[in-house]
Amino acid sequence: MRNSAPEQPDRVFAPPASKRFANIFGIGIFPLLAITIVLLPTPTQRVDATPDSFAIVNTRVFDGERTWQRADVLVSDGRIKAIAEELELPAGVETIDGTGKTLLPGLLDAHVHSWGDARADAVRFGVTTLLDQFTSPAELQKARADREAGGATDRADLFSAGVLATVDGGHGTQFGIPVDTLAGPAEAEAWVAARKSEGSDWIKLVVEPGWGRQLATLDQVTVRAVINAAHQQGLLAVVHASRLEDALAVVEMGADGLVHVWRDQVPNAEQVKIIRDAGIFVIPTLVVMEGMVDPAPSLALADGPLGGRLSPFQRDTLMQRFPESARVEWQVVLDSVRLLSEAGVPILAGSDAPNPSTAMGLSLHRELALLTSAGLTPEAALTAGTSRAATSFGVPDRGRIVAGALADLILIAGDPTTDISHSHRIAKIWKAGQPIDPKPTSTTKPLDTSVAAAPEDTFLADFENGLQSRFGRGWVPTTDKRMGGKSEVELEVRNGVLHIAGEIQAGGMFPWAGAMVFPGDTPMSAVDFSSHQEIRFRTRGDGRRYSVMVFSGNTQGIPASRPFTPGDDWSTIVLPFDDFGGADPGMLRGISFSAVDPPGAFSLEIDDVEIR
């Protein structure tokens, strides 16, 4: 937060750039000299070591801010014990020769969306900390417990905004995660308090009126109220905005950061100055935008030196494509980042994985390369993915190789401080001092990419033949138990109507229970419904909120979803595929009708399901 101290003792908030400069020039020459002396590389240093200590010696070190051409680094008890030009090590300490190599801090990806194996997938690529911009409260609570226990050395640590601030039907409500939306500024204080109680590390807002189609979005009065409420409760407030005018508006309202760069126009000098003087940071997420224009460079990463570390799920997300309507003006994006960087606006590295054409962990390496394409030096790009990300989000003990920091480390067989492509040459990774196995452990099988033609008659089910459908694999129960949840459901056909009843129970990552139908001959096989426009069905129920979830494309991530609320009387629901953000009807794999949060019993009936 820019103008007040944090309330959480374990978080460190950096002041804006203007205040940092004022502090430097106000401290006087003698303290400044003292600081300079402290920051200089230390010559030969004698150190003690514990039995589990090890040292990386004779190596180049990028410590998160600058490069040491030769140094030794001692690790003890999962933390950096010492760094110096030369360490006098006790006898018996294991040494790893870093000659010709470069030691980096573990990377921080400042924009991800985490679920499933994301944390294990990321760490195999040296991304040891994930700054998540939208996930379920259950996921962030589990991650916080891991951080506090200090024992998760086989996966990245996760800090997160949790649930984002948006409106009913706005961006962020289409992914199957229950979202507590806002209707106006009067709800801001309570909404922020609820996120803080869930464990959110900061607040993320969405200002997105649509790209290629119109979307509901937060109004400016509500945005300002949420930002102010976040600051009053000691939390940063960051904003998703894809238009320059929206970005400038939220900067004026006091936002602390932008989690994307806009993509509609290049800012002029005065606009860049406004952003710089506000002291905010920007996470461009270039790699996900490049995927909207040309996914080939990201897909080529799978054939590079890091391809063997990819899990099936990571390969799936690399293969997925954005719709044509999502294209961006690529040069506008690059020029905007170049101007921001040249003006001194803090730039952070973030991938927006696992969106289409990205893979958790791997895509951050492409992001670093793209930042250099936008004018950053290799050292500045590395800073964006290490110390600057840690400082901007107040994440302690990360992104630096200094005494006392967590021993999250990457040893590179090359010099990424002069050639950023060398970041791919990973020789070894440590998480809290423990070595990371580069082999993927996920047992998830990749999806079949073949696509069957849609039947001529796409009337899917009238339930006159029980749970059979007119085409495909028929109707089956679906619940969050396959992801560790506890919700229950039973399906029964009575008088030609499907009855879906059960109970949503808290504790799962994304609580749901309902009925699912597969349009293909085998579960999750794809069928081409690209010439069809909508899902139509009749329903009645108990008045609680339900979701239609569409499983499609080449990814096994969270499905696109749209809500509906059945009443006591039968009604017809029509949901256009265009309203399911990210859904691909050309590779339709499954449709579910499910109850979601809040916990409690539910009862729903559906009939006459069609794909038109």
Classified by CATH at the fold level, domain 106-392 comes out as TIM Barrel (3.20.20)
Which tokens is 564 given?
Answer: 């509906």
* Amino acid in the structure at residue 596: V
Phi, psi of 395 (to 5 degrees): -95, 115
pLDDT one-digit tens code per residue, 428-455 = 999 999 999 999 875 555 666 789 999 9
pLDDT of 17 reads 39
Domain limits of the chain?
106-392, 451-611
Domain 451-611, CATH: 2.60.120.430
pLDDT of 325 reads 67
* Burial letters 110-146, b for 16+ CB under 10 A, else e: bbbbbbbbbbbbbbbbbbbbbbbbbbbbbbbebbbeb
Positive or negative: CA dihedral 255, 257, 260, 264: positive
Low-confidence stretches of the chain (pLDDT beneath 70): 1-43, 151, 176-177, 211-213, 323, 325, 442-448, 482-484, 507-509, 554-558, 582
- Measured distance CA(273)–CA(368) in Å, rounded: 24
Beta bridge partners of 132: 112, 160
- Measured distance CA(351)–CA(380) in Å, rounded: 17
Q: Detail the DSSP E strand segments found in 16-66.
A: 45-46, 54-62
Burial of 514 per CB tally in 10 Å (0-12, 13-18, 19+): buried
pLDDT one-digit tens code per residue, 106-129 = 999 999 999 888 999 999 999 999
Q: Detail the DSSP E strand segments found in 378-511.
A: 409-412, 426-431, 434-435, 451-453, 459-461, 475-479, 488-494, 497-504
pLDDT of 380 reads 98
Q: Quick check: 537 and 607 in contact, CB under 8 A?
A: yes
Q: How long is the chain?
A: 612
pLDDT of 369 reads 98
Cis peptide before 137 (omega within 30 of 0): no
* Amino acid in the structure at residue 557: G
Q: What is the pTM of this model?
A: 0.76
Burial of 79 per CB tally in 10 Å (0-12, 13-18, 19+): middle
Which tokens is 125 given?
Answer: 């690529």
Cβ count near 219 (within 10 Å): 14
Q: Detail the DSSP E strand segments found in 349-433.
A: 409-412, 426-431
